Amino acid sequence: LCYKNHAGLNARMPNYSVKIGFGLHVGWAIEGAIGSFYKIDAPYLSPHVNMASRLEAATKQFGVPLLISGELYDYFSTETKNFCRQIDCVTVKGSIEPLRLFTCDTDIAELELEPDTKHMTKKE
């Protein structure tokens, strides 16, 4: 079942589509517990988490669903690197070190989708 073709959703929000961006970086992080007795969140804090968040936000500017930092790219195998392409080299605010940006292009039309019958319910 595809949300794009869901009649009820299209009636409420014509031409509805989901766009997701991912920013991938490597480094350390500290997990903390913030909240109250009723609700606790587990945020992760570090400059590396902030960089991943900035990369995710930049996916919109570059028009790609995935941005990978050069630091993470350097850990990839040669085979994995063959699927990536460098799209820019930028200097981010608060740093003098240039940051290489990579993405991985995927032709969505070539992906094989399996129906999720486990979570589907039949409407009568």
State whether residue 22 is helix, strand or coil.
strand
Over residues 12-24, mean pLDDT: 84
pLDDT tier for residue 26 given thresholds of 50, 70 and 90 = very high
Per residue in 36-82, pLDDT tens? 888 888 888 899 999 999 999 999 999 999 999 999 999 999 999 99
pLDDT tier for residue 117 given thresholds of 50, 70 and 90 = low
pTM: 0.73
Angle at CA of residue 75, ends 72 and 79, nearest 5°: 115
pLDDT of residue 14: 80
